Structures are given as C-alpha cells and as structure tokens.
Amino acid sequence: MEIKKIRNFSIIAHIDHGKSTLADRVIEITKAIPQREMKEQFLDAMELERERGITIKAKAVRMGYKAKNGTEYLFNLIDTPGHVDFSYEVSRALYACEGVILLVDATQGVEAQTLAHAHLAISLGLKIIPVINKVDLEHSDVETTQEQIWEILKNPVDCTLVSAKTGKNVDELLERIVKEIPHPQGGVNNELRALVFDSVYDSYKGVIVYVRMFDGKIKKGDIITLYSTSKNYKVEEIGYLTPDMKQSDSLYAGEVGYIIAGIKDIHDIKIGDTIFHKDKNITPLEGFKDVKPVVFAGIFPVNTSDYNQLKAAIEKLNLTDSSFTYQGEVSKALGFGFRVGFMGLLHLDIIRQRIEREFNVPLIVTNPNVIYKVKSKVNLNSKETKLVEVRNPSEFPHYGEVLEVFEPYVNARIITPLEFMESVIILLKDKRGIHKKIDYISSKRVVLEYELPLSEIIMDFYDKLKSSSKGYASFDYEYSEYKSSDIVKVEILIHGEVVDALSFMVHRSKAQFASREICERLKKIIPRHLFEVAIQARVDGRVIARESISALRKDVLAKCYGGDITRKRKLLEKQKEGKRRMKLVGNVEIPQEAFINVLKTDNKKD
C-alpha cells in the first residue's frame, strides 16, 4: 500500500466511555472480520478484560477502508491499555500513531484519564479528533461535554457525535480519519527503523514482537538487531495483524505488523525499543526508557504445600507479562513465597486474580509498599555514606545509621464536581498532598492538581476519594520525583520478639495511629496463653503503642473445700511463680489466620 494512503490511529478514553464498542463498530464497517466471528469487545480477548471493562494488553488490527470518493485506504488501529499503571506502554503505542480519536462519554463528561491521555497526545504532536459518544441516551449532555473538550484542547474543534452501540455517525468519523489524520512519514529506501510497541509469548513460536515500521523494509531471513541489548536475531516470519496473524513477504515503512525471530526470552524485548538491520548505523527512535516496577508486595500461598504451583504460575505469567519482577522470599510466619514488583495497584490486582483463577492457587498478598531511597552510614561508627533502595521493611537500615529517607511522589490530577471540592481537598491534605493548582473546566467541574506521596495512594486512596465525592470524582497520576521525607520503620514485637512479616514503613506523623490499629487487631486475633502476652510497636528503639493479652487463669482453688487459708495462699503463690517462669521461657503461638487477616490487602480497614 502506498504510504500516503495509510492511516495509523488509536482511540483514547476513560474507563467505560465506549472505547472497545467503538472499535467493534469500526471493525464491522471496514469488514475486517467476518460477521459470524464478530462478538462484543472483540479486541478484549482476556476474560479479565471483558469482565472488568478495561484493556490490559495493547492490540493492533489492520483494516481496509474504501472512502466515499472511491479511494482505498489502509487503517491500522492500535488499541492501547487505558490505566495509569501502563502509561509508558500507552505513550509508545501513541508514538506509533499519527493521530488519535479522543472519545468522551456524553453522560459523564471529561474524566481524569481522558485529560491525561489528551495531554500525552498533544505532547507527542498527534492530530486529535474529538468524538462524543452515547449521544442517543436521554440524559446525555452534549453541549457541556463539548465545552469541556474545548477547554482541554484550548481550541473549539468540531466534535463528531456518535453512538458506538448503534453505529450512528461512525461512518462520518471514518471519513474524518481519512481527511484529518496525516499519513506516516519515512521512506522505504531508508535504513530500517521499527518501533516495538508490544510483545506476546507463544509456546511454539517464541516471542511475537508487534512493530510499527518507521523507515525501510524488512523481509524473512533478514538479520535484525535490538538497539537496547545489541542482540541479533534472524527473522523467521513476518506479517500483519488482522487481528489474527496473517503472514506476508515483507513489511514497509508506515505499516504495522508482527515479527517472529526465534526469540526465546520475552525479557529481551523491551517496549519502545528500536529494531534495525545488523551492523547498520542508525539513530534510535525517541522516548525509550527501561521501565522498573514501583509497587512491591509479598505473595505467599495460603497452603504452604502450594509453593511449587505458585512458582510455576509466576514463571508462566512472567513469560507473557515481562513488566513485573519477582524473587524468592522467606517469612518466619508465612513460609516460602515471592517478593513481586508491579507497575501499580491495578497491575498487582490483575496478576493476583490471574494466579488465583488460571492456576487455582489461593494467595496471601501482603500490604504493598513503594521503593524508598535511604541515605545511611556504612555502619554505626563510620563517616562514609551510601544510598540504598529499600523494597522491603526488612531491608531498612538500623535507625542509628539512617541520615535521610527519600520517597517517590506523583503529580495527581483529580476531576470532581464543584460541590465535592472541599471534601476532596480535605482528603488530599490528610494524604500529605502539596497543592499545585486548580482549574475550572466548566461551571460545575473542577480539576485539582496536587503532588502526593505514592505510598499514600497505594492502599485506600481510591476508596476514600469515591466516598468523599459520592463516586463522581476521577483520578489520574504520573510519576514525578523522589523527595526527602520523615519515613520510619515500625517494628511489631510479640512477647518481646520482632515479627518481620508484620513490620512496615510509614511517615512519622502517622506511625502512632497505624501502630495502635495493628496492635488492636492483633489483640483480637491472637489466642490467650497461660501467661500475659505483650503486643508492642516500636520506632527508633522506643515503644509507641502497646496492647496486652491477659493470661488464662486455671482455678487452682477448685479442689479446696474449706480448710486453712494458708493452704490456699500457698497454692496461689505456687501458681504465680509458675506463671512468672513460663513468661520467661514461654513461646507465643501465632496462628496463620492472624497473619492472613492482618496482612491481606482485601481486609485493610480505613
């Protein structure tokens, strides 16, 4: 296909605004898939995607379109994940396009995710076609939605009014794609440069790499090099995604397709990397970065006998999703498990659900935490310093060695109706937010921009935001930088012994409240013993919270039916001495249910 007749585009939208439904209608109109094979949310193949109404993996589909003027065009729709956890993948998928359809629900208006993706598209210089969906519903508010879109784009652009469900005006939208989205640049005669925007693992073919061709051409038998790793591979198969894989002789500049080159390890393929011919000197495509996990949690099997099953499950999932990392971890309380790094909370939830559903392994997931950077002495008496990354409370240096702690911050954007602004601001202050600015996108809606510590939003922020705004607020964020912060490690001691599995890191201002809460919860869960058990929370060597579980007392006077008082006193003194000795040598049995109830993220209370 001539490069001037190719249109590469994506659809960006907030969750539940109709992105997958609009993609269905475009696929139907262009007849990319036979009608008998068509089903709702066609591009969302994963059960979890269809159930939750979200896109987790990027997809691509090649479609032929005959315009009203009779000219044949080639459309490449690159479907992107929508959630902030996958923002880097979204940026690379958008980089592979020349234009985007900005889809907004007429009943809900502009949401935080819409705003974030629109700003990303603007920063990449893409042509934006604003589209208002669900105009056929009774309570749709087209005029207000249009004003909000204009406010975002700072430009009164014509909005196409569609109903993705019924197909109303979708044909008009396709004509706008032809007229307004520019064709790809680049030349077939230039040196090969292809962008990797996604990859999947196939147990027979190895890694299948999804690429957008920027320059040159590629054919079967070529030797290609990955820029980030400098590894060479021989191309075994190439083709298009229709969306099923369809083999081809070659791929040319401007096209989107797949490459199979005998790559066995999916970790060799990095999203955003540049592919070129071996021994050629080229300038790599812009924007590549090696993405690292930001949220870490411990994953343990409920039944310790399931450890091998859990290990196999994590290894198999890591073949299809290389964006999470894992390493073995041993806990005195929970046994053998893994410390797993995720892109964010949604990513954590997806991996957890996939392990439980696809591999039938019940899990305990510990409270997630972020990576702190700690500047500390090499040892207590040393003047030399070092900077360490702390992913786990057990890695936190001794408080006598700590000089400064840095924690990651994010730039958060919250869109809320005006009437809930005050309660949302109170929540943001409680979460140690730093105010940046407030914008009004209409007479009834406001955008709040704040800097927030990442550790404050990974536990219960979403739930509290929804309750303080009655479900009307939407939230999006992007990573900012590390800032100095007064973070401390809270150690939980039971009967004088530190329990590593229950220790956690928190800001000093919240340490006492969090410590009291966990001590109270443990008091209710740990069974009584024959001696008093102390539950303590300690910061910097000082106890800041304590609960006591009173001793079980055997009635030693039950066998005394009268008689001298000295006999009773002697029995009570003997019991007292026995309890004192038992307290010194006794061990506290902590049932596994206690750890499950305290550590499970599902049971975390506000």
Instruction: Give the model's pLDDT for residue 108.
Output: 84
**Candidate ranges 79-93, 150-164, 563-577; pick with highest mean pLDDT:** 150-164
Q: Are the CB atoms for 106 and 149 separated by under 8 Å?
A: no
pLDDT at position 593: 62
Backbone angles phi, psi at 600, to 5 degrees: -60, 130
State how many domains the chain has.
5
Position 28 scores a pLDDT of: 84
Q: Decide: 115 and 415 in contact? Cβ < 8 Å.
A: yes
Per-residue pLDDT, 39: 60
Per-residue confidence (pLDDT) for residue 458, from 0 to 100: 78
User: Are 509 and 573 in a shared domain?
Assistant: yes
pLDDT at position 85: 61
Average pLDDT over residues 456-475: 80
Among 191, 207, 188, 189, smallest CA distance to 199 is for: 207
Whether residues 319 and 447 share a domain: the answer is no
Instruction: Give the pLDDT score at 82.
Output: 60
pLDDT at 302: 83
Cβ density class 387-419: b for 16+ within 10 Å, e for less:
eeebbbbeebbeeebbeebbbbbbbbbbbbbee
Q: Is residue 285 part of a domain?
A: no
Rounded to two decimals, what is the model's pTM?
Answer: 0.74
414: domain range?
Answer: 372-485
In a shared domain, residues 33 and 151? yes
Q: Residue 502: count other Cβ atoms within 10 Å of its Cβ.
A: 25
Categorize the per-residue pLDDT at 309 as very low, low, confident or very high, splitting at 50, 70 and 90: very high
Among 106-120, 295-309, 381-395, 579-593, the minimum mean pLDDT is found in: 579-593
pLDDT band per the 50, 70, 90 thresholds, residue 603: very low
Indicate if the pLDDT at residue 506 is higher than 60: yes
Element (H, E) at 452: strand 445-453
CATH number at residue 547: 3.30.70.2570
Cβ atoms within 10 Å, residue 371: 20
- Convert 275-285 to b/e letters by CB count within 10 Å (16 or more is b): bbbeeeebeeb
114 falls within a domain: yes
CB distance 53 to 15 below 8 Å = yes
131 and 265 both lie in a single domain: no
Does 479 lie in the same domain as 353? no
Task: Work out the average pLDDT over 515-520.
Answer: 88
* Choice among 49-53, 58-62, 385-389 with the minimum mean pLDDT: 49-53
525 CB neighbour count, 10 Å cutoff: 16
Q: What is the percentage of the chain residues whose pLDDT exceeds 90?
A: 14
Query: How far is residue 149 CA from its own chain's centroid?
Result: 27
Neighbouring C-alpha atoms within 13 Å toward the C-beta of 503: 20
Residues 328, 355, single domain; the answer is yes
Structure confidence at residue 605 (pLDDT): 37
- The closest of 260, 518, 274, 502 to 393, measured between CA atoms, is 502
The candidate with the shortest Cα–Cα distance to 253, out of 207, 186, 343, 305, is 186
Please report whether residue 305 resides in a domain: yes
Token look-up 């990573």 returns 479
In this structure, is residue 359 part of a structural domain?
A: yes
Q: Which residue has the tokens 């006077």?
A: 557
What CATH code is carried by the domain that includes residue 303? 3.30.70.870
Q: Which helix (H) or strand (E) holds 567?
A: helix 565-585
504 shares its domain with 400: no
* Residue at which a domain ends, from 335, 366, 397: 366
In a shared domain, residues 481 and 495: no
Half-sphere exposure at residue 566, Cβ-oriented, CA atoms within 13 angstroms: 0
Q: What is the pLDDT of residues 380-392, one digit of tens each?
A: 777 788 898 888 8
In whole angstroms, what is the distance from residue 112 CA to residue 126 CA? 19
DSSP 8-state symbol, 250: E
Q: How far apart are CA 544 and CA 28, in angstroms?
A: 64
**Phi, psi for 283 (deg, rounded to 5):** -95, 120
Residues 15, 111, single domain; the answer is yes
Is the separation of the CB atoms in 308 and 234 below 8 Å? no
Residue that terminates a domain, selected from 277, 308, 339: 277
Average pLDDT for 162-191: 87
CA-based nearest residue to 168, from 216, 131, 196: 131
The answer to whether residue 327 is domain-embedded is yes
How far is Cα 552 from Cα 549, in angstroms, rounded to an integer? Answer: 9
Strand ranges inside 52-98, DSSP E:
59-66, 72-79
To the nearest 10 degrees (0 to 180), the angle between helices 112-123 and 142-153 is 40
Q: What is the CATH number of the domain that holds 210?
A: 2.40.30.10
| Residue 176 burial by Cβ neighbours in a 10 Å radius (0-12, 13-18, 19+) | middle
Q: Same domain for 59 and 168?
A: yes
CATH number, domain of 431, equals 3.30.70.240
Angle ∠(213,217,220) on CA atoms, nearest 5: 110
H/E stretch holding 210 reads strand 206-215
The answer on 495 and 470 residing in a single domain is no
Same domain, 65 and 139: yes
Q: So what's the pLDDT on residue 584? A: 54
Q: Is the pLDDT of residue 265 over 60?
A: yes
Residue 83 domain flag: yes
Lowest mean pLDDT among 258-262, 282-286, 346-350, 453-457: 346-350
Residue 323 lies in a domain: yes
pLDDT for residue 156 is more than 60: yes
Average pLDDT, the chain: 82
Pairing of strands 474-485, 206-215: unpaired
- Identify the pLDDT of residue 602: 42
Residue 448, strand partner residues: 414, 438
What 8-state DSSP symbol labels residue 418?
G
Cβ atoms 158, 149 nearer than 8 A: no
The amino acid occupying position 561 is: Y
Percent of the chain with pLDDT over 70: 88
**And the tokens for 130?**
């604003």
| Predicted local distance difference test score (pLDDT) of residue 165 | 85
Task: Name residues whose C-beta falls within 8 Å of residue 464's C-beta, 6 or more positions apart in sequence.
Answer: 427, 606
Task: Choose from 23-32, 296-305, 390-399, 419-428 the range with maximum mean pLDDT.
Answer: 419-428
Residue at 161 is within a domain: yes
Residue that wins the pLDDT comparison between 245 and 80: 245
pLDDT at 598: 63
> Residue 259: its pLDDT value, please?
92
pLDDT tens track for 193-233: 999 888 888 888 888 898 999 998 999 889 999 988 888 99
- pLDDT category at 606 given cuts 50, 70, 90 is very low
Alpha helices, DSSP H, located in 241-340: 307-320
pLDDT attached to residue 41 = 54
Asked which of 435, 454, 485 is the last residue of a domain, the reply is 485
For the ranges 175-179, 393-397, 431-435, 486-490, the lowest mean pLDDT is seen at 393-397
